[in-house]
Each structure stands twice: as C-alpha cells, then as structure tokens.
Structure 1
Amino acid sequence: MKSNKVISKGTLCFQDYDRIIKRGLIFSKKEIPYESIQPASLDLRLGETAYKISSSFLAINEKVKKKINKYKIKKINIANGYLFKKNSTYLVELQENLNLNKNIFGRCNPKSSTGRLDIFCRTISDYCEEYEVIKLGYKGKIYLEITSKTFNVVFKTGDKLNQLRLSNFKTNYINDAVLQKINTRTPLVYNKNNKIINPSILNGLKIKADLIGKNKIIAYKAIKNSKTIIFNKINHYKVNEFWKPIKNKNNSIIIKPSEFYILKSKEKINIPINLAAEMVPYDTNIGEFRVHYAGFFDPGFGRDNFGSHAVLEIKTHEVSFAIQHNQSIARLVFEKLAQKPNKLYGSEIKSNYQNQGLALSKHFKIIG
C-alpha cells in the first residue's frame, strides 16, 4: 500500500522512513521489519550472499557487482551462519535495495553493537567514490564491507550491523551559535549527579573521557585470541572471557597500538527530540587515535534519566597515546530533523543503550 503523504524536507525521521518504504523507495525481497525503522535512521540487514575479498575497493566508474569479480576469493552463502575470521575482509550484499527519488541522499554508519566488537564495516554502492555515502537519487544495491579486527564472529542473514540516515533536499547541520541557544532551552549535558553542566562547544559538542574514581573500572581492553562470538546471541557471553577490566590508578590510561579499548564519556548526553547527532570518528586535532566506530545518535537518547553516557571505542594508530581524565576525545555534530519523530530512542522501544554507563555490547552478560 503506497503512502500519499509528503516526505519532509531535511533529515528524515521515523514516519518518513515508514512512508518511503511503503512507496517502494526502499525495498527488499523479504518484508522490511517494522522494528528496523529507528527514530532517525533505518537498520540494514545482511543478505544471503557474501564474498571473501582480497582487497577493499570502491566502484567509482562501474557497478560493485563487476568489481567483485576482480577481487573475489570465494563466494559464500551465510543463510545458516558463517565464520568471519578476524583480519579477513568480506563483502556482503544487503537485503535493502534503494530506488530513491532525485532529491533524497544519505550516509551510513555502523551500529553501536558493531563498533563495540571492533568490527570495521563500511558501505559501498555503485558508481560512488566514497565509503558510507548514498548519492542523490541513488538506485541500486548496497553492500557492506566487513573486517572484524579483534574477534572471530559468526554472521548470519538478517543480522543488522549498520544503519542508513537519509535527507530530503538538504541536511540542516547546527552551527555552534545555534547549538548554544538550543542548550539554554534543552540542556545537552549533565554530570554524574544529574546536574546540568556547561557544554564545551567548538565545531560541535566536545566529549571528554571519564577516567576518575578510586578503584573504579575506567575501561575495558579486549582479550586477544578469545572464543568465537555469534553475533545474534544477546546477553550470552561472560565478560571476563573477552575483556580485561582496567582500574583507575592515576586518572589516566595509556592506549597501546593494536589494542582495542572501551571507555565512556564524562558527560551524560541528552539528544533533543527534534535533533539527531553523529560522533566524529576521527579528528587529528584531538589526538593520534580513532574514536567511536558507531556514529549515529538518535533523538531521545538520554532523555529518560538526565542524559546517558556515550561509550567510546578507541584504538591508536602508530604510537602509544596517554589519555587523561577530562580530556576531549570526540565530538558530536548535530543536525535538525525535518519534524518531530513519532518514535524516540529509549526504553519505550527497548533501545539497548539508554541510560548506559561503561557498557559493553549487548552480546555480553550484564554486570551487576
């Protein structure tokens, strides 16, 4: 059944995705689950066909399908599950196909649960010279390149590793002056005692590391050569078999090359219901490390309880890097939604990470 309602201009929200799916602008052989539609994004599902590939690539002047033939090591059916070995690269055809109108464009990002397992994934599409970009009016298949960097992981058709965020005509990014004004009406950050604090705003909202507290666990470091993780098993694995807790000694931590760490923000963050946000994944002005695989923050994040901490997945590049308590380690960039979404992030829709502290991915048994 097609929807005749107008699609909003600007960054799309829940009801817009519902409409464009009903219109066939996003379609799939298998019906797109209603729960895939998030407040300001759409979860994408792995299809049945995957390829182990010899190299990453972009299909700048041709279709991805043609390029696969050049780099394919083998073709794989993942309908019943398949082991993706760490540091090997795979390409999976996603179930969702796009048939966008001429004014709609977008971008993709890994979901939080993907980033927290150190799974490096990025979307590619036909005739596109950038990862994670959905060009204006794109029509065709989309694919997900997957490289698990720390764990061996079993993936299966239907698993959701990444998200799509679309805009119609334009994306209304919020500048610092406007963000300051928004903060006077709707506080963006709280402290651990649920008190409003002044945000640090410069090219977006700065996020700082929480590395204080006597004998407190301030981070987790992934244990190498751990057991295999089955991606669709939730609240299943014992934390101590995969992660080493790091307790505070001097209000700082040294991030070492090739190791993977989970930290959390000092601030508790509140995303206003008419905005969405995206974590900047890497910023050389902040330090020589990569922060946060998972980018999208939906409207309503943190609204249930005076904000929620952001969890930060961190790796260094070439050298060890010392991070101190209260050091800026990431930024949130905000964009205005075209309208208030009918569905907000939080407990009502069973969001996994609302009111989180130093939280590992949903695959691990909850501590405490």
Structure 2
Amino acid sequence: MTSVETGVFPNQMIEALIKADKIRADRPLLPGQVQPASLDLRLGPVAYRVRASFLAGHGRTVAERLAEFEMHRIDLTDGAVLEKGCVYLVPLMESLALPADLTAVANAKSSTGRLDLLTRTITDGGTEFDRISAGYHGPLYAEICPRSFSVLVRPGMRLNQIRFRRGQAILSDAELAELHARTPLVDGPAVIEQGLGFSVDLRLPGTDLVGYRAKPHTGVIDLDRIGHYDPADYWEELRTTAGRIILDPGAFYILVSREAVHIPPQFAAEMAPYLAMVGEFRVHYAGFFDPGFGHAAAGGAGSRGVLEVRCHEAPFVLEHGQVVGRLVYERMAQVPTQLYGADIASNYQGQSLKLAKHFRTP
C-alpha cells in the first residue's frame, strides 16, 4: 500500500491491513472472510438484550452505555434465539486500529437484509451507525433487531461486513455518465442523479409472480441452514398482471429491480435511498455491491438488484418502472485479485427475484 492509493480497499489491501495488525481478531480469520471489497465480521460468544437501540456518543464507550440499557445477557455458545421485535447488542470478534487516513463503513450482508434482520455496527465514541471515523482504535459491536423472523445464531456467524477507504472515492454524476458510456452499467437507459437510479419490476417475463411478503407469524430460522426452509412457511407470494401492488404499513417485501446491474472490476457500489422525502416506503439500503457483480468476465451478464422494501405510515401504491433507489459507485484503490462470482462462492450472481439463501428455490 502507498499513500497515493485512494479509494475502496480490495481484498489484497485488506489482507495487508490484517498482517499489519490494523485489523485484529479474537480468533484467527477464516478462509472466505475477506471478500473482494470488504471483510465479513463475526459474532462473538455473548449477546446482550437491551431496552432500546443506542449510540455511544462522543467521549463514551459502548460498554459504559450498555450498563444503562442491558436487560440480560445470552450465551451464544450452543446457539440461541434472537426474538423478533427485540434489540440485541453483540460484541464482534474483530476490532480495529485504523491509520489516521483510513475510514470504514459497515453494512448488513445481502442475506441478512433479505431476512429483514436489521444489523448495524456501532463503535466507542460513535455518533452514527455503520460509520467508523478515521484512525479509530477500538472494538466493534453489532446491534441486531430481527423485524420479520426470529433467528437462531451462534458465535462466528457473519451478519455484517465492513469496507475500508482512503480519500474521496465516490463518482460524480458526470463521471458516472462517462463510465456508463464506456461500459454500460444497466441494460437500458441510465437514470443518473446522485448515483445510478433503479426501478422496480412488477411485470416479470413469463409469470405473474412479482415478489414476496413476509408472513407475520412464523417459526425460527437457523442461520446455518442453507437451502433448507420452504418459502411457503415464511412468505406470501405476490402476484399481479396489473403492474402495480399496494404496500401495507409495517409489512416487509422482497421485490426485484427492472434493471440488470453491472459493477466493473475497478469499482464498487452501495445501495442508497432514492428520495428520502417520499416517506411512505423505503428500500432497505443495507447493501454493498462487490466488484464483478453482474460482470460478464465474472460469470454474469448483468444481475438484477433484489429490493428489500418496508412500507411506513400509510398504504402505498407501487407501480412498475417506479424509481425506488440508487447505486452510488466508488473507485477501488486497486483492482481486486478476486471478483464477485468468478473467484468466490457467490450466492446471488446472475440473480433475478430471489429470497435469502436459507430458503429452497421455489
């Protein structure tokens, strides 16, 4: 690594941080934990049930605040259930000793978001969720709130991930338009406004199935069980030929983008809200898109983005082609030596409408 390398750190630079003891862990890191542009974070052996979500705040530690809000602690060693509607704090196995010129941002992993499992990272002295200031030295914690399904967790499970960056990495709209002209980022016209806009697909070819809505009363999901659960036990199918659906307040939906997205190897992206003032619903923006997502050389020909949608105060009509989110593209400091889909076991390369990996394919 050199001081001139600005942008998001790829896997080889993350591995260099580990070797330099800038990323530390209670247990040795595992194969596959370092992703093309992020590091998976692991749950530690204990969870704390807390009264409410909180941030440490300037000059205070999470441990100090935990003493105010802890209700009871749960040993995760043999597995334990985190119940729907409750808030938990779990110390992570990884901690940081960042250089003064390095910041980090955390986010839930794709499968975590698709289970409506709100997972955010907090730090000592932190005033924002998932944002880690330059030069941070200290522990990391996951705040977990299951919102649709109760889940069974164990130490070492990876619910969230962290990216590292040096300097300014976000592409301006002009730079994004220039990149799209050289290497198409979507399989159609690009809507570029503070990122690359994407819309919802409610007219999927050859089917009237357009999405899923989480059932309100279900069994527990063991996060170690892949391809195990019958979707019908947890999800209601959404079918329409009208090109629109009505979102119910408080309900959680899995939908899919109309556009097939492409992330070239020298870039990464993050899903963000499109218009905060819309208010009636939001697309879950706990989503990192790795270099190589939807990239032809990495085994994809564009991949649709799965949309995790929650409706708020009032029923809301969502229509086919409505712009619901945006992708913010960032430069990589170096091209990763491994890409999404090509070099790692990627569950969602080439995806269309798809539930989390824990469910059997319908």
1:200 aligns with one of 179, 186, 191: 191
Q: CA deviation at 1:339?
A: 1.2
1:207–1:265 Cα contact (<8 Å) kept = yes
Q: CA deviation at 1:230?
A: 0.5
The C-alpha deviation readout for 1:1-46, integer Å capped at 9, x for no partner, is xxxx547332111111010011110011211113111111111010
The C-alpha deviation readout for 1:142-178, integer Å capped at 9, x for no partner, is 101100001111111011111101112x131101111
Q: CA deviation at 1:281?
A: 4.0
Amino acid in the other structure paired with 2:35: Q
Give the match for residue 307 of structure 2.
Answer: 312
Give the match for residue 42 of structure 2.
Answer: 45
2:272–2:285 Cα contact (<8 Å) kept = no
Give the match for residue 247 of structure 2.
Answer: 255
Matches within 5 A, 1:69-218: 69-168=67-166, 170-190=167-187, 197-213=188-204, 215-218=207-210
The C-alpha deviation readout for 1:73-115, integer Å capped at 9, x for no partner, is 0112112111001001000000001111111111111111001
Aligned residues: 356
Q: Work out the CA distance in 2 between the residues paired with 1:141 and 1:236.
A: 34
1:12–1:338 Cα contact (<8 Å) kept = yes
- Give the alignment's TM-score, normalised by structure 2: 0.95
Superposed CA RMSD: 1.3
Amino acid in the other structure paired with 2:65: K
2:261–2:294 Cα contact (<8 Å) kept = yes
Amino acid in the other structure paired with 2:50: I
Q: CA deviation at 1:348?
A: 3.1
Name stretches of at least 5 consecutive residues in structure 2 with no aligned partner. Answer: none
- Secondary structure at the aligned position of 1:114 is classed as helix
Q: Please say if 1:325 is aligned against 2:330.
A: no
Q: Work out the CA distance in 1 between the residues paired with 2:33 and 2:211.
A: 31
Q: Work out the CA distance in 1 between the residues paired with 2:30 and 2:274.
A: 32
Q: Work out the CA distance in 2 between the residues paired with 1:167 and 1:347.
A: 23
2:55 aligns with one of 55, 58, 68: 58
Name stretches of at least 5 consecutive residues in structure 1 with no aligned partner. Answer: 191-196
2:339 aligns with one of 328, 341, 344: 344
Q: Please say if 1:266 is aligned against 2:258.
A: yes
Most deviating of 6-15 and 108-117: 6-15
Give the match for residue 223 of structure 2.
Answer: 231
Q: CA deviation at 1:287?
A: 5.1
- Give the alignment's TM-score, normalised by structure 1: 0.94
Q: Work out the CA distance in 2 between the residues paired with 1:34 and 1:109.
A: 20
Q: Please say if 1:275 is aligned against 2:261.
A: no
Counterparts in 2 of 1:25 and 1:100: CA distance versus 1, 3 Å = same
Q: Work out the CA distance in 2 between the residues paired with 1:199 and 1:293.
A: 20
Amino acid in the other structure paired with 1:313: E
Q: Work out the CA distance in 2 between the residues paired with 1:359 and 1:295.
A: 15
Once the two structures are aligned, what percentage of the paired residues are identical? 40
Q: Work out the CA distance in 1 between the residues paired with 2:195 and 2:244.
A: 24
1:217–1:247 Cα contact (<8 Å) kept = yes
- Secondary structure at the aligned position of 1:46 is classed as coil
